[in-house]
Each structure stands twice: as C-alpha cells, then as structure tokens.
C-alpha cells in the first residue's frame, strides 16, 4: 500500500484522540536545526468538524493486542491493519513542518507484541527526529499503560508532552469495556512522571543546565457517555488529577457510537452538549478558582444542560448577588457570569484610575447581556429583577439553546 | 504646520522627531504623501531618516517599555487612513505619563489605537498558522497571502527563527510586497512584476496531496460543524490554503 492509503487509514484511526494542542513548550531552535516551540501554541487548520489541527496526529500502527470494546482498533474488529515505518513518519513530519502545515507530531500507536516494545519504537522515532534531523518543533507522544518507567523517563527527554489516557472515568467501567487495562497500570506511570517533575523542581537551583523533561507537561483523556458515571464523579476525578498529578489538561471525548458491543450503551448521537458543559466546568476549575463541590452538588450531580455551569452556580447562590463592580475583589468578579479572566483583569486595572461607569463597562469586552443581571455599577442595577432567579434563568436560556435542549431531552434516557 | 512623509514607519517616526523639534503644539496634521494631495500652504516634507526614527523608537522603548512600542508599530501596520494624528496623540500621551498609559484605556483615542494594534496582532497570529509554503523547483519555499493588515513584515521574525536553514519568501499579493529570507537576513522588497510561471518541485505535489488526504480523514463525520470551522478559519483565507483549494478541485 502506498503512503497515501496508509495515512488515510491511520488518520481515521487516530482522529478520536481529542488533544491536539501545541502549547506549553518554548523549545528554541538550534543552529542548523529546523523548528521551535511556540509557547501559546499555534493552530494551523480546522477540519470539517471545527476541531483545530495543529499537530500531525497519527498512529504508528492500528494493529493492537488489546480488545477494548469502544475502540475502532480493537483486536476483534475486522479492519485493514497497516504500519508506518519510523523513516516514513520522520520524513512526513519534516516535510509537513517545512510547508507550515503543522506545529509538530502527535504520535500514538496500537500496541504490538508488548507495551515496552511499542514504546521502544516510539522512542526510536523521537530520537531520529531530535538527534538526526535536529528537529526542535513540538512532539507529543502517548504513554502506553504498563510500560517500564525507565523507558518513559528516556522518552521524556525527547518529547514536549506525554499523555497517558484514563480512557474511562471508573475502575468498574474499565473492567467492563477495556478488560486488559487496569486502573493501576494507568495511574502508576502518571504518578511516576509527576514525581519526576517534583524531583526536578527541587533540584532546579543546583544545576545551570538541565536536560529538558516533558516541558509541556502531561495530559490525559477520558470518554464521556460510554459508561454510567455522573458528571460530579467525572469532575471530582479531574480535580483530583489536577491537584495530585499536576496535569496540564484533562480532555473529555463525547462517546461516538462507532462500534457495537454488548456492554456499550445504545446512543444515536454523541453527547456533545454534555461534553461542552464538562469543558466549561473544567475551565472553572483551572482558571476561575472554583472547586468541583461548588459546581456540582450531591443533590444535583449532573449538569443543567440549558445553562452553563457558572451561571448555574450563580443562580444557586443568588444571595451573593448583585456584586458591585467598583469595589468587589478580583476573585468575586471572576465569578460573575459573562465576565472572563481578561475582562476581570481589565476591570481591576481600569478602576484604579477612575470609577467605572455604565459606558466604560459597555466597552470593556464583557458579555453585558448576561452580566447585567448579576452586577451593580456605581450602585445602580441594570438587570431585570433581583427577586427571582428562575426568571433570570428563563431570560438567559436563548431561543436557540431552548430548541437544542428540547431535542436533547428526547435522548436523555439513553445518554 | 502640516507634515508630509513617505508612508513608511521610519518616515512617520522622523515626522514625530521633527514635530518634537518644532514644538508639538504646532502640529496641525500629518499626511501620507502617497495617499493625499497637498492643498495646504504651510507644509513641511520630511524624509525618512533612520537615525531620527531610531531615536524616537528607542526613547519610547526606554521610557514606556516594549509593549507600548509594539502597540505603536502594530497599530501603524493596521494602515487605517486616519491613523497619523491618533498615533501622534498616542505617542504624546505615552511620553507625558508613561506609567499611566496602561490604565488609560478609558480614553477613547488611546483605546482606538490599542484596538488597531490588537486587530493586527490577531490577524498576524492567525496567519502564522494559516500560511502555507510551497516548495519551488530551486528548493525555495514560497507563500502567497492576501491579508487585511500589513502583517508580512511582522511575521518574518517568527519564520526566520523557525526555518533558519531554509530560503523562503512571503508574498503579500494585495500590497505587492514580499519578505525574503536568504538564510542570513530578512529583506523586504516591493514586487513590481507578477511572476506568472511558477514551477513547483517534484515532491511538492506528493506532499500536498498527502496533506489533503490527511485533512479529509482527520475530521469526525458524526461531529461535522461547518459554522464552527468558518468562524475559526474565515472563507477569505481559503483560496491560499493548500487543503481547501485542492479539496474543491477534487470535488469539481
């Protein structure tokens, strides 16, 4: 089979991996080398589903010894198996990079013969790129559960980001859908990488130069909607991963029913809105000083699909509002629906010079339509009522969203 | 006093130098010689002078920091017809109270200048990803773009670091301007003649077709969302994107 045919099959097999970010690494180009890292990441294209393409996201091979029920590449699935040689991957990466198609390589693989053997092949590719081709662009590789930690450590010196997939949010679901993978085999390498980070951080002041080790950190991914966990469970898990493993990102992937299996739920459409709400809550965890317990409570363990989690929190804690823009603390301003990190910082900077007026607020970049119900500006309230949060909620759910919400509730029992 | 300059950034900075020399209160207007005709009586034609321009830019840099200097440059590159007096006002405000400038976005004129700079910077950042090089027969990489703002010179530094061992050129089709890198220096030139017969290298067709194939297969059909794609990647950029042009050829 020619290269084009192989690429089609392996891109098809890799596309369900969500992560494609190229941020976090500011690796410099070396003399005579090609490429560098851009700290903020650069998106190079967007595919027809609106997801950004910044890395050449591809599998080394789609043949796999595991039999995970949800996966296209599972052993029992009757599909064509192909293998890209290290040389082919290296030349593709360099040629794509020169033409500014991509920001680097995101290599994952099905598991052939053993996790260690597969990781050795990945390591070989990373070494070829970094040492022979003098390539200094972004490299993201998958850590394969059950790999020897020595191999992971060596791989860490060459790549910018390493990610080990959680796959499913609970041990039970893992047993059901991916019987060959265990929770501990996934958590252990994650923990190992985290310990390496901590150790290196404490030794940083001892050496002038240290060999880089996964400068863009580690991430993970889990499938949402393939097993019965509630949103609170998933969010608590993410919070623990951020706190205990210092992960950079947790990615959520709405379960796309491509395979059929006796343990898989029968859904017609991927739960995209739920995935979106999870991401919104994830942002609240990482940037807005929220905790998972605040976002979802025991009484309400699932997201209200009609409004975003921040608005939902505000409506539940109605006694805290309205907030006076000119005096409130930065942390409180962050919690107002319709105000993001940038505009919150801008408000705090601008009010040092002069009190903010209604006119200033209009031009500051906040979503005034939403925020006005929750704030006062110079003592005046511009919203539509302080008595009843239900009224505000009805206003905030847009016509468009209401239509979508009705569609989704048809499937609710199945999701 | 009315000042005239040649339309270049260093020309504009030279005007600022002269204006400070003559006294800023005498400035009634600054006009681009390429854009307008001279209908006024008291004009002063200022030639671009690199030492004078350097003095102004360095002064601004030292007094107000890199961010303000960059804002000025980027806002200038937005090429708005009414830019000169607003930028002049911005520079005066910056020199007068440098430490207050970051708080004075409530001032509508300064806010406007910041806004122009932001728009230029946004398009530059987007174009860093959306630019597509093609390999010519001689091995040089060539990219054609048609951006709204004058961002080709602003992108040169990025690619000079990234592709330091390559020879490349970025051609702004709308402004007839090209930035060329010869493995050592960046050269900005005007392009007077349009090259019609561009010969691409042999491997170019292979890799661009593999890229298109990859582009088609990486999207998940169940999640198709053309509106979302258009909002990230507006259609005005599509004619210069390898994957979009070849896709439409394929369907036609």
| Alpha carbon distance B227, B235 (integer Å) | 11
- Interface-testing mutation among B145, B164, B214, with chain A (most A C-beta atoms within 10 A): B214
Quick one: pLDDT at residue B143?
Answer: 95
| Whether the predicted pLDDT of A131 surpasses 90 | yes
| Whether the predicted pLDDT of A405 surpasses 70 | no
Quick one: pLDDT at residue A108?
Answer: 94
Query: Does residue A53 sit at the B interface (CB-CB below 8 Å)?
Result: yes
Helix (H, G, I), strand (E, B) or coil at A253: strand
Helix (H, G, I), strand (E, B) or coil at B135: strand
**CB–CB of A60/A109 below 8 Å?**
yes
More confident residue, A76 or B251: A76
pLDDT tens for B58-94 read: 999 999 889 999 999 999 999 998 899 999 999 999 9
Reported as a pLDDT band with limits 50, 70 and 90, residue A266 is confident
- Interface-testing mutation among A47, A104, A259, with chain B (most B C-beta atoms within 10 A): A47
In chain B, what residues touch A360 (CB-CB under 8 Å)?
Answer: 106
> What value does the mean pLDDT take over residues A137-147?
94
**CB–CB of A128/A90 below 8 Å?**
yes
**C-alpha torsion angle, residues B108, B113, B114, B120 (rounded to 10):** 140
Any idea which residue has 């040689």 for tokens? A85
Query: Does residue B111 sit at the A interface (CB-CB below 8 Å)?
Result: yes
Ranges of each domain in chain A: 3-295, 309-396
Nearest CB neighbour to A99, from listed B134, B209, B221 = B134
Quick one: pLDDT at residue A312?
Answer: 93
Reported as a pLDDT band with limits 50, 70 and 90, residue A403 is low
Mean pLDDT of the residues in chain A: 90
In chain B, what residues touch A254 (CB-CB under 8 Å)?
Answer: 223
| Alpha carbon distance A247, A147 (integer Å) | 19
Mean pLDDT of the residues in chain B: 89
More confident residue, B31 or B16: B16
Share of chain B above pLDDT 90, in %: 65
Share of chain A above pLDDT 90, in %: 69
| Whether the predicted pLDDT of A412 surpasses 80 | no
Q: List, as ranges, residues 208-227 from A with C-beta within 8 Å of B.
A: none
Among chain A residues, CA nearest to B235: A46
Reported as a pLDDT band with limits 50, 70 and 90, residue A401 is low
Among A84, A86, A90, smallest CA distance to A34 is for A90
| Alpha carbon distance A167, A190 (integer Å) | 13
Among chain B residues, CA nearest to A365: B115
Query: Does residue B200 sit at the A interface (CB-CB below 8 Å)?
Result: no
| Alpha carbon distance A37, A59 (integer Å) | 22
Q: List, as ranges, residues 221-260 from A with C-beta within 8 Å of B.
A: 254, 256, 258
Record: contact A36-B162, CB cut-off 8 A:
yes
Reported as a pLDDT band with limits 50, 70 and 90, residue A414 is very low
Q: Which CATH superfamily is domain A3-295 in?
A: Aldolase class I (3.20.20.70)
Among A397, A415, A325, smallest CA distance to A366 is for A325
Tokens of residue B167, six digits: 């020879």
> What value does the mean pLDDT take over residues A262-282?
90
| Alpha carbon distance B229, B219 (integer Å) | 11
Reported as a pLDDT band with limits 50, 70 and 90, residue B195 is confident
Q: How many helices (H) and strands (E) does chain A have?
A: 16, 11
Record: contact B213-A46, CB cut-off 8 A:
no
pLDDT tens for B86-126 read: 999 999 999 988 777 766 667 888 889 999 999 999 999 99
Nearest-CA distance A31 → chain B (Å): 8
Reported as a pLDDT band with limits 50, 70 and 90, residue A261 is confident
| Whether the predicted pLDDT of B135 surpasses 90 | yes
Kind and range of the H or E element at B248? Answer: helix B242-251
> What value does the mean pLDDT take over residues A291-308?
92
| Whether the predicted pLDDT of A360 surpasses 90 | no
The residues that bridge with B2 in the sheet, in sequence order, are B29, B43
In chain A, what residues touch B218 (CB-CB under 8 Å)?
Answer: 11, 14-15, 47, 53, 57
Nearest CB neighbour to B129, from listed A35, A44, A256 = A44
Quick one: pLDDT at residue A396?
Answer: 84
Q: How many CA atoms lie within 13 A of A388 on its CB side?
A: 4
Record: contact A350-B164, CB cut-off 8 A:
no
| Alpha carbon distance A29, B163 (integer Å) | 9
Nearest-CA distance B189 → chain A (Å): 22
- Interface-testing mutation among A57, A95, A252, A360, with chain B (most B C-beta atoms within 10 A): A95
Q: What is the rounded radius of gyration, in angstroms, for the C-alpha atoms of chain A?
A: 24
Quick one: pLDDT at residue A404?
Answer: 63
> What value does the mean pLDDT take over residues A137-165?
94
User: Going by C-beta distance under 8 Å and a sequence separation of 6 or more, which residues neighbour residue A384?
Assistant: A372, A373, A391, A392, A395
In chain A, what residues touch B242 (CB-CB under 8 Å)?
Answer: 99, 101
Helix (H, G, I), strand (E, B) or coil at A4: helix
pLDDT tens for A4-47 read: 999 999 999 999 888 889 998 989 999 999 999 999 999 999 99
Using DSSP bridges, classify how beta strands B141-145 and B167-172 pair: parallel, antiparallel or unpaired: parallel
- Interface-testing mutation among A31, A97, A100, A349, with chain B (most B C-beta atoms within 10 A): A100
Record: contact B232-A43, CB cut-off 8 A:
yes
In chain A, what residues touch B207 (CB-CB under 8 Å)?
Answer: 92, 95-96, 99
Say which range, A78-82, A333-337, B245-249, has the weakest mean pLDDT. Answer: B245-249
| Alpha carbon distance A85, A55 (integer Å) | 19
| Whether the predicted pLDDT of B250 surpasses 60 | no
| Whether the predicted pLDDT of A384 surpasses 90 | no
Quick one: pLDDT at residue B233?
Answer: 94
């Amino acid at each position: 089979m020619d290269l084009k045919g192989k690429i089609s099959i392996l891109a098809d097999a890799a596309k369900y991996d969500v992560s494609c970010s190229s941020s976090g690494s500011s690796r410099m180009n070396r003399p005579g080398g090609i490429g560098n890292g851009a700290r903020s990441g650069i998106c190079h294209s967007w595919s027809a589903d609106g997801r950004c393409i910044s890395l050449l996201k591809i599998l080394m091979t789609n043949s796999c010894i595991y039999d995970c029920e949800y996966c296209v590449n599972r052993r029992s699935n009757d599909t064509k198996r192909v293998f890209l040689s290290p040389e082919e991957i290296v030349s593709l990466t360099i040629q794509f990079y020169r033409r500014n198609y991509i920001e680097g390589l995101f290599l994952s693989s099905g598991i052939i013969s053993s996790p260690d053997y597969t990781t050795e092949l990945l390591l070989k590719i990373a070494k070829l790129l970094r040492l022979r081709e003098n390539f200094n662009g972004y490299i993201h590789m998958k850590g394969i559960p059950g790999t020897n930690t020595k191999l992971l450590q060596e791989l860490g010196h060459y790549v910018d980001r390493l990610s080990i997939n959680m796959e499913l949010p609970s041990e039970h679901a893992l047993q059901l859908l991916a019987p060959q993978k265990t929770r501990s085999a996934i958590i252990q390498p994650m923990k190992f990488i985290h310990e390496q980070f901590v150790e290196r951080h404490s030794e940083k002041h001892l050496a002038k130069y240290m060999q880089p080790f996964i400068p863009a950190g580690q991430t993970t991914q889990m499938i949402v909607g393939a097993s019965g966990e509630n949103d609170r469970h998933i969010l608590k898990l993410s919070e623990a991963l951020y706190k205990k493993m210092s992960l950079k990102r947790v990615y959520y992937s709405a379960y796309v029913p491509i395979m059929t299996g006796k343990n898989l739920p029968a859904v017609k459409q991927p739960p995209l809105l739920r995935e979106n709400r999870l991401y919104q809550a994830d942002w609240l965890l990482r940037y807005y000083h929220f905790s998972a317990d605040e976002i979802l409570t025991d009484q309400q363990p699932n997201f209200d699909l009609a409004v975003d989690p921040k608005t939902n929190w505000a409506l539940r804690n109605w006694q805290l509002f309205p907030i006076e823009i000119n005096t409130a603390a930065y942390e409180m301003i962050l919690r107002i629906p319709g105000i993001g990190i940038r505009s919150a910082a801008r408000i705090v900077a601008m009010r040092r010079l002069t009190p903010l007026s209604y006119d200033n607020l209009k031009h500051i970049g906040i979503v005034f339509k939403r925020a006005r119900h929750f704030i006062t500006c110079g003592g005046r309230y511009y919203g539509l009522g302080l008595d009843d949060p239900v009224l505000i909620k009805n206003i905030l759910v847009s016509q468009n969203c209401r239509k979508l919400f009705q569609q989704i509730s048809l499937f609710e029992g199945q999701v | 006093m009315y000042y005239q300059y040649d339309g270049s950034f260093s020309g504009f900075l030279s005007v600022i130098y002269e204006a400070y020399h003559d006294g800023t209160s005498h400035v009634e207007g600054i006009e681009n010689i390429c854009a307008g005709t001279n209908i006024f009586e008291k004009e002063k034609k200022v030639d671009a002078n690199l030492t004078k321009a350097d003095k102004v830019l360095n002064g601004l840099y030292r007094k107000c920091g890199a961010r303000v200097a960059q804002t000025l440059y980027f806002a200038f590159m937005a090429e708005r017809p009414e830019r000169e007096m607003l930028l002049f006002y911005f520079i005066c405000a910056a020199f007068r109270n440098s430490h207050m400038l970051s708080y004075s976005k409530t001032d509508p004129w300064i806010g406007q200048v910041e806004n122009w700079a932001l728009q230029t910077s946004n398009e530059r950042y987007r174009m860093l990803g959306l630019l597509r090089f093609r390999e010519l027969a001689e091995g040089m990489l060539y990219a054609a773009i048609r951006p709204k703002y004058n961002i080709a010179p602003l992108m040169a530094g990025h690619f000079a670091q990234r592709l330091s061992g390559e020879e490349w050129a970025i051609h702004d089709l709308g402004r007839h301007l090209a930035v060329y890198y010869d493995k050592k220096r960046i050269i900005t030139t005007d392009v007077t003649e349009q090259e019609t017969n561009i010969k691409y290298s042999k491997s170019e067709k292979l890799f661009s077709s593999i890229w298109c194939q990859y582009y088609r297969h990486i999207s998940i059909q169940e999640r198709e969302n053309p509106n979302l794609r258009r909002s990230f990647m507006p259609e005005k950029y599509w004619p210069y994107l390898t994957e979009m042009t070849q896709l439409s050829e394929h369907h036609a």
